[in-house]
Structure 1
Amino acid sequence: MRIHRLTLQAIGPFPGRHTVDLDALSASGLFLLEGPTGAGKSTLIDAIVFALYGVVADADSSSDRLPSHHAAPGVEPFVELVMSTGAGVFRVWRSPAHQRPKRGGGFTPQRARAKLWRLARPDQDGGDPVSAHVQEVGSELRRIVVLDRAQFTQTVVLPQGQFASFLRARPEDRRTVLQEVFGTAVYERLQRQLAEDARRERGRLDAARAGTVTAARAFASAAGLVETDAAAVVGAAEDGDAATLTRAADEAVGAHECRASAAEADRDAAADTERVAREHLRDQRELAAALARRGALLAEQAALAAAEPAVTTAAERLDRARRAATAVSAVAAREQAGERAAAAAASHRDLLGATAAGPDADLADESVDLTAAHEAATAAAGALAELVTLEEGLPARADALARARAALGRDAEHLEALAVALAVRPAGRAAREDALGELRGAGAERARAEAAVAAAGRVLTAARAVEDRTRELTAAQTELATAARTAEQRADVERAARRAWVAGMAGALAAGLADGDPCPVCGAAEHPVPAPASPGTSTADVEAAAAARETAERTLTELGARVAALRERLAAADDGAGGRDVPAAQAELAAAEEAVRAATDAIVRSAELTAELAEFDAETARLTDAHATAAAAHAAGTERVAGQAAQLAADTERCAAGRAGAPSVAEWARRLTARAETARRLQDAARERRAADAALADAEERLTAALAAAGLPDAAAVRAGTLPAADQAALERRVQQHRSALARVADGLAEPAVAGLTGAETADVPAADAAHATALQALTAASAAAREARVRAEQCAAAADRLRTALAESAELTSRAAPVLRAAALATAGDGNTISTTLATYVLLRRFEDVVAAANDRLTVVSDGRYALERIDEREGGQRSPRAGLGLQVRDHQTETARDPRTLSGGETFYVSLCLALGLADVVRAEAGGVELGTLFIDEGFGSLDPVTLDAVMAELGRLRDGGRAVGIVSHVADLKDRIAERVAVRRLPGGGSSLTVHC
């Protein structure tokens, strides 16, 4: 892949917006990212990795540190990257999670966002949107870039602390990177697919062989083979001997079929014998049953003849009962009619006597018209109904009138009280309005007091911040002075170490000089003043001193930035405090808060008084309405009471006129009602007497007709012949059963099987039964034998068919699986693979050998022929790799020994890793279908190189321009500024942030 343009805003130490055109910057193949330690050079690497993967380059760091703390509030942090891969040209925009201002003050979390566009060319501004969702953008970029974050930081962006990760990676991890970079995962998938196909085919073959053995065992069991023959059949199945198995199956099936046919013939003969014996047994049983039935019928016939006289008597008794039953109802009706007539006559006589002795004796005279008397009394009583009701309500109405007059007096008193209460209301309202007027303006006073509280709070916060920043600044200045001394000391130590190292190198060279031999430095054959021998200092000592000095300088820079930031924060806090200290600010805040409380109390009291005034007015309105209502009610009540008194007097007069001399209207109405009731009862009694006499005459006529129809002389004969229903039913059942039995016996004796017998015949059922049992037993045994023989024959034939089917399926599977198994064995280092290497490993080994060769081309120049990389089958450290061939070791040609890459020094590790990374890029560039590595970033490491090695490394990097690739170097080494013209200069700002400038 190639990176064309990077834009970032409010990221890390960069508060502003910066754009880096990498196409223009890398025109010569090399460009430099330089600046002081901690200024933000590595932040540019983090921005590139964040744009592609949503995280920073260092796996142990969090992306939360990306938003700049130096940017103004509200400025959104983002990174925008334009890059091209084999999938096309794309622009990705990402914003990390950060805190954004919210309305009303304060901050609210803003989640991470991402957008992706496809471009037609790198300099296009718009583009076609691909996605605007974080998850989808990540998935699309993984497909576009191919490499994951770890692989990207091993091949394209080499950040601090991870530069040598590919060199020191485990073979398994190196394998993953190479697969992604070269796009050889297809071979891995092909290898896995072939292995899976082979495993599946072997499983099918094993299952088929097992099925054949199982079918052979089942056949041997179904055929009933002896142990030796069964073992031979199973052995043939295990050996796959199809001919032997087929021959044994055919022989066994034929033998079982012959035995089954013979057993079925024996069964048919036994069935004929059993049929003849069964028919004879049936005939004997039928004869015995007919003889027994004939004897039973004759005995029953004799018993019926003996019972005939008694049955005849019962039939006559039943006939008399049936005739008497036709006249029973007429006899009962005559008796009931006689009783009714006697009772009606007695009741009429008694009622006449009682009436003659009472107040209405005139009604006992039979000449009186009872109907007219009843109607006159009823009409008079009805006319008094209204007066009776009116008379009953007079006492209650008198009591109600008294109560109404009392209530009217109380209403007059209540009306007077309401008038008095309304008279004092205006004075009370005026007093409340005056109190409310005194509290107006409390709201404005509280607003001013609250503003004073807020201002006093800010002053107090600033005063406290002044105290805190003063303490922090004092401590930071102390640390800064200590760090400055430490940095100066470590710089002295480094200079001394380098001088000692140079002196030691000169003495070592002088010790090897000989007169006449040319000097390896100046070429002179004479050596007048050789340098004296010196214990000197090793390269590792110099590197350690340089690293200690760099650490001290970084610490000094960081502390200086911190002191500057603290001074700015102290000045800002002092401006906010306005020269006040904490006690003074606290006193101002307390006074302002007390003013807020007083204003709040006034507002609360004003609200309370307003509510009280509203409630007072509502009560006044309620009293006014109540007074008007009470006055109207009192006037209406006075008029109503007068009307009630006049009506009560008139109704009392009417009731007195309607009594007719009786104590009351109700008593006079009761007497009239009693006279009407007496007249009605006399009428009813006379009618009942006449009706009862008529019913009696009718009942006597019906009785006479019924006796004649039944042929009985009188009612006594009817009662004598009557039988209960149960007795009558019993007689009827007895007669009917006797007659049915006579008919049944006659029919039974007339049956052909009984009528043809003389009684002298005999039946031998036991002998016939014994003969049939013997024949049936023989048939059962023959049937069982035939059935067993047929089942064995069918089982043997079915087992033989299953065996033949299993043999055919096994043969077909073996033929089909052979090519698959052969291909899988070759791809997975199985039988037939002479080099014992899998297909995927073989492909990667060839690519890895190319990478090592390309790396050695550069490493030979950089190391002056001392080092070369070698591919080994073991892991680094001597352990065998489960996927051999991707291990690395370093060949030291000075000692001709192999070294583990972890034993190299810092500078050696740097340039060996760089050569390996460049070799990987060379091979990938030459491959088709892999990942194009057009841009490479190297973050630090050049400070560990001596001048000679640095020259060699820079020469190798300079060769990249011939292939159109670009390498970005991130370093603070001052010598690189003179060597590389194109660069991005990162500088600190006075406020604590950083800025960058692009020099092309």
Structure 2
Amino acid sequence: MKPVKLKLTAFGPYRDSEEINFEDLEGNRLFVISGSTGSGKTSIFDGICFALYGSASGSDRSEPKNLRSDFAKDSVHTSAELTFEVHGTTYRILRQMSHVKKGNKSATGERYEFFELTDAGEKPCVERQIVSELNRRIEEILGLTFSQFNQIVMLPQGEFRKLLTSETDNKEAILRKIFRTEPYRLVAERLKHKKEEAQDRFKAQQMLYKEQVQAIAGSLPQRESALFEVFAQGDFQRSQLLAGLEGEIRHYESESIGLQERYQQSYDFHNKKMAEFHEAKGWNGRFDELEAKKRHLQELEEQLPAVKEWEQQVTAADQAGMITGLEEQVLDLVANERQKREELRRAETAEQKAQEMKRQAQQVKDEEENRHEQRQAAQQALIRLIDMEAGVKELEQQRAAVQQLEKAAIHARTALQRTDEQAASAEQQLAQTKSFIQQLEERLEQFDEKRDRQNRLAEQQRVLAEYLRLEQKLEGLAEQSAGNQANFEQAQKAYQTMEHDWFANQAALLASNLHDGEACPVCGSLDHPAKQLGSSAAVDQQAMEQAKQVLAQSEQKFRKTEAEQAAVHEQAAVKREELDDMSIAAAQASAQLETIRAEQHSLTGELEQLQSDKEQLRKRKATFVEMEDQLSRLKKQQAEAQHSTQEKRSAHESAQAVLESKLTSIPEALRDLGSLRTETAKAQETKDRLEAAWQRAQDALQKAERQVSEAAVSLRHSKQSVQELQEKRAHAESRFEEALVKSAFATKEAYQQAKLEASRYEELKTQIERYRQDRHTTERQTAELESALDGRGRIDVSDAEQALAELKADYEQALAELNTSNDYKKKAQAFFDEVSDASAKEAAAEAEFARIVDLYDTIRGQNDVKLSFERYLQIEYLEQILEAANERLKHLSNGQFHLTRSDRQEARGKQSGLGLDVYDAYTGQTRDVKTMSGGEKFNASLCLALGMADVIQSFEGNVSIETMFIDEGFGSLDEESLNKAIETLVDLQKSGRMIGVISHVQELKAAIPAILEVEKTKEGISQTRFQLK
């Protein structure tokens, strides 16, 4: 980066606009910035840094608002504008700060510009002229962050010595910013989270094992076995627990075999008795069925008379059905004869009407035939009018063409006016949209900052909420633990009392069988001076076992609560450490959480609005491009509309002249095509009416003649049909009477009564058939049952039911005991599998936890050399910087000094590896760089800065460091060191770098040919000018 022009407005001591044109150096790349104290020399450096990165050059002036001039007018905004060159491309960047003007409540005037200067003009370097976009693009173009720029290009007063003399932690921060080693530090953070997760998994497996042990003691019944002897020990190995569970499995397997045999015997005996019982009930049921069949057979016998009567009705109906067809034939013929007589009457009437219509039609035809001359006149009049239509139609078309051209001319003028209005409106909307886009871009400058803040708040909220939850859980567990402890102590006291009474009773029982001279079965003594004669409260073995089980359960609950309380307490401690890292006091966690929630809620609303603004900005930009295109199209349409309007006006005037010429050649009465067509239509109507009347008269006569002929034929046919039906009816009546005489019916009335409706007839036949089938089936089943039961009698089964109930209860009891034993075996097997699996998982979790802890401690520097992974990488960069720096320091110090990296470890366990020592060739000793004199430190710091510039250039690749600014430091050098420093600067400027130095040293000003003089007026306002020798 090489500065071309710097313009400062209301900046520091520069009240108005101060412009520094570095092209005035006229090829001199080395110059001194000179002036009195407070004149504004450092402000020049601040202006360059502020224009590029938005911050001043020194850490003590990091707040940009402090850069505003105290002398500036309220209407003038503070800004820094820098024109600079990188890789042959020239850029212009402007940063203008906002401030609160008098009478306003909020700051205004903030503005940012970043353009590439080309021969065609200025080209935007960013899509949006906002802070975040400018900062990102500047780092891309320069290839340097602000920290890197301040270490190798802009060396502020006292700042560039930090790398030499600062503590190792500060060096780490400087190198982290410059060489971007932050990701390697985050590796340790990620490993820390992995360690915590592995530790939680390991503790969870330990807690699971404890819960499994407690579950075993409460799930299996206590008995004298290896498992419960292990529990009684209190402290035992997992192998002992697994061996005890295997013993329980074998015990219940053996017990299940005996219970299975007992259950099978009881079940088989019950089934045998059940089969005998059901067989007896089956024979008794067949006796009941025989009695029911006999009763049903008697009911069928009582229904027999009614069935016989139904059979007689069906027989009579069958006989009547044989002559019913003849009767129906007679009735059909009578009805047909009546119908044909009516048709005969209608045919006679129709024949009379047809004769009358023929007479009337003949009369009309004669009248129309006499109008022949009238029809001829109408035909001639119509032909004349039709011949006139062609000329009038052509005149009408010309008139319509003139009207159409007139409308087109009017439409073109309207379209032109509308296009003018649309173009004006589009220009106004384009200006409004551009203004709105600028407002949105200004609002969106805070988007990235607010989103980062929201993410940090979300993480803080998560940790706070988890910490408060754990604290609340601890309070509940503490209360629960106190209650469980009280219950445990109470159960322990009750068990101890019962145990004491039990031992006292046992002692009294032994004492009752002791006799003088006989050995005591407990101690073997022959003397019994103090026998236990009295007895305590009676305690049996079952009560002792119950009390012991209650004690074990209460202890299990108490120990489980204690373990859970310890685990939660440790989790809370971890979260408390995280809060400490976030600088949040755990004692005020609740209040902090509410504050963070409120701020996050506010930020969420703001970000939602900003996100909406962001989307709206994207849409508005797209709309802006479309509006520009639309305006361009409207301008083009505007020109086309003007041309079209002129053409249509000329066409209308020409057509109007042709129309007026044709009007002179046509009589006025015939000019209207509508009137002519009306008269033509009337003539056509008259002609058509006369011809139609003549045609109708002819058609009517022909129709009447046809109707007379048809009526005569119809009359003859009707008379013949009536005669034929009379003969058929008489023959049918004769056949019916003959069949009735031959039938079994005495009279016609008897025949009518015997007829049945079809539904009734089918119903009677169905009932008769059902009766016959039911009787036959019942008789057959009764005979079969009598044959099967011959020689048998009923069996009494009342006592068998009670015996079966007792047998069922016996085998169900055996089954319940078998299932209980199998359940205990399954539980023991399940516990064995779970404990084995949990042990394996706990061992795996412990190994994983140890591996991650070891890796985490190595990465974060908890090792023998107190060196983290990030510092290990930073050391490589530092070694390269020292190598490049020593090449120049050797010349500046006449070979006296050589910078080296110190291997000493920092005190109080701090990270090591970045300390600097200096080897003094005059003394042959190595010492801390802080022991160097001021001039020596300046030389060493200058060499370090130059060495860092060399390393960064090789590290970044595309970085071109063409400029260096140094603020003070030369006053501490002696004459020889100053001369060597000047030689170094001259060598640097010979390599193509522009170097600016702030100094009061006269020797330096005398040795350098170009001076930027900064003068302060009496009013405190500064001005600048270049002096060339």
TM bracket (short chain): 0.5 to 0.7
Alignment of 1:249 onto 2:245: yes
Aligned to 1:621: 658
Give deviations 1:86-107, integer Å, cap 9, x for gaps.
Answer: xxxxxx886755579999x9x8
Q: Distance in 2 between matches of 1:389 and 1:881?
A: 140
How far did residue 280 of structure 1 move?
1.8
CA 1:986–1:795: 2 relative to 1, 3 Å: same
Aligned to 1:151: 148
Aligned to 1:79: 86
Q: Distance in 2 between matches of 1:192 and 1:741?
A: 97
Match of 2:965 among 935, 939, 962: 939
Give deviations 1:127-146, integer Å, cap 9, x for gaps.
Answer: xxxxxx9999878789xx6x
Q: Distance in 2 between matches of 1:605 and 1:836?
A: 86
Contact 2:185 2:869 in 1 (8 A): yes
Alignment of 1:789 onto 2:821: yes
How far did residue 749 of structure 1 move?
1.8
Aligned to 1:524: none
Contact 1:164 1:910 in 2 (8 A): no
Letter in 2 for 1:971: V
Q: Distance in 2 between matches of 1:940 and 1:651?
A: 120
Q: SS where residue 971 of structure 1 aligns? A: strand
Contact 2:184 2:869 in 1 (8 A): yes
Contact 2:966 2:997 in 1 (8 A): yes
Gaps of 5+ in 1: 1-5, 26-30, 69-76, 82-91, 114-132, 362-376, 422-603, 890-900, 902-907
Letter in 1 for 2:260: E
Q: Distance in 2 between matches of 1:626 and 1:742?
A: 117
Aligned to 2:199: 202
Match of 1:780 among 812, 820, 827: 812
How far did residue 253 of structure 1 move?
1.8
Q: Distance in 1 between matches of 2:34 and 2:850?
A: 68
CA 1:910–1:258: 2 relative to 1, 3 Å: farther
Aligned to 1:259: 255
Match of 1:686 among 711, 716, 719: 719
Alignment of 1:313 onto 2:309: yes
Contact 2:31 2:1008 in 1 (8 A): no
CA 1:388–1:624: 2 relative to 1, 3 Å: farther
How far did residue 806 of structure 1 move?
1.9
Contact 1:934 1:965 in 2 (8 A): no
Contact 1:355 1:678 in 2 (8 A): yes
How far did residue 811 of structure 1 move?
3.3
Match of 2:320 among 311, 321, 324: 324
CA 1:331–1:806: 2 relative to 1, 3 Å: same
Q: Distance in 2 between matches of 1:150 and 1:795?
A: 67
Aligned to 2:217: 220
Contact 2:226 2:247 in 1 (8 A): no
Alignment of 1:769 onto 2:769: no
Q: SS where residue 33 of structure 1 aligns? A: strand
RMSD: 7.2
Contact 2:967 2:999 in 1 (8 A): no
Q: Distance in 2 between matches of 1:250 and 1:287?
A: 56
Q: Distance in 2 between matches of 1:754 and 1:19?
A: 143
CA 1:281–1:184: 2 relative to 1, 3 Å: same
Aligned to 1:970: 996
Alignment of 1:336 onto 2:332: yes
Q: Distance in 2 between matches of 1:150 and 1:613?
A: 76
Q: Distance in 2 between matches of 1:750 and 1:267?
A: 46
Aligned to 2:789: 757
How far did residue 312 of structure 1 move?
1.7
Contact 1:7 1:18 in 2 (8 A): no
Q: Distance in 2 between matches of 1:393 and 1:979?
A: 138
Spell out the pairing of 1:200-599 with structure 2 (5 A cutoff): 200-225=197-222, 241-342=237-338, 344-345=340-341, 348=344
Alignment of 1:736 onto 2:769: yes
Q: Distance in 1 between matches of 2:116 and 2:180?
A: 43
Gaps of 5+ in 2: 8-18, 68-76, 94-112, 128-132, 400-640, 918-929, 1015-1022
How far did residue 689 of structure 1 move?
0.6
Give deviations 1:192-224, integer Å, cap 9, x for gaps.
Answer: 576566445434432332333333334434434
Aligned to 1:722: 755
CA 1:704–1:723: 2 relative to 1, 3 Å: same
Give deviations 1:426-461, integer Å, cap 9, x for gaps.
Answer: xxxxxxxxxxxxxxxxxxxxxxxxxxxxxxxxxxxx
Q: SS where residue 762 of structure 1 aligns? A: coil
How far did residue 282 of structure 1 move?
1.2
Alignment of 1:177 onto 2:179: no
Contact 2:164 2:940 in 1 (8 A): no
Q: SS where residue 794 of structure 2 aligns? A: coil
How far did residue 279 of structure 1 move?
0.4
Letter in 2 for 1:325: G
Contact 1:826 1:838 in 2 (8 A): yes
Max Rg structure: 1
How far did residue 328 of structure 1 move?
2.2
CA 1:17–1:963: 2 relative to 1, 3 Å: closer
How far did residue 718 of structure 1 move?
4.0
Q: Distance in 1 between matches of 2:663 and 2:33?
A: 94
Contact 1:50 1:56 in 2 (8 A): no
CA 1:743–1:714: 2 relative to 1, 3 Å: same
Aligned to 2:629: none
Q: SS where residue 268 of structure 1 aligns? A: helix
Contact 2:90 2:117 in 1 (8 A): no
How far did residue 178 of structure 1 move?
2.8
Q: SS where residue 789 of structure 2 aligns? A: coil
Spell out the pairing of 1:918-929 with structure 2 (5 A cutoff): 918-919=943-944
Contact 2:351 2:711 in 1 (8 A): no
Give deviations 1:636-670, integer Å, cap 9, x for gaps.
Answer: 999998999899799969979x99xxxx8899778
CA 1:839–1:786: 2 relative to 1, 3 Å: same
Q: Distance in 1 between matches of 2:5 and 2:831?
A: 83
Q: Distance in 2 between matches of 1:383 and 1:984?
A: 139
Contact 1:79 1:93 in 2 (8 A): yes
Contact 1:98 1:111 in 2 (8 A): yes
Letter in 2 for 1:619: Q
Spell out the pairing of 1:944-963 with structure 2 (5 A cutoff): 946=971, 952=977, 955=980
How far did residue 723 of structure 1 move?
0.7
CA 1:180–1:7: 2 relative to 1, 3 Å: closer
CA 1:390–1:188: 2 relative to 1, 3 Å: farther
Q: Distance in 1 between matches of 2:379 and 2:750?
A: 81
Q: SS where residue 87 of structure 2 aligns? A: strand
Q: Distance in 2 between matches of 1:109 and 1:389?
A: 100
Give TM-score, length-normalised by structure 1: 0.53
Give deviations 1:876-903, integer Å, cap 9, x for gaps.
Answer: xxxx9997998999xxxxxxxxxxx9xx
Aligned to 1:746: 779
How far did residue 318 of structure 1 move?
0.7
Letter in 1 for 2:806: T
Q: Distance in 1 between matches of 2:864 and 2:829?
A: 49
Letter in 1 for 2:767: R
Alignment of 1:32 onto 2:30: yes
Contact 2:116 2:122 in 1 (8 A): yes
How far did residue 783 of structure 1 move?
1.8
Contact 2:164 2:944 in 1 (8 A): no
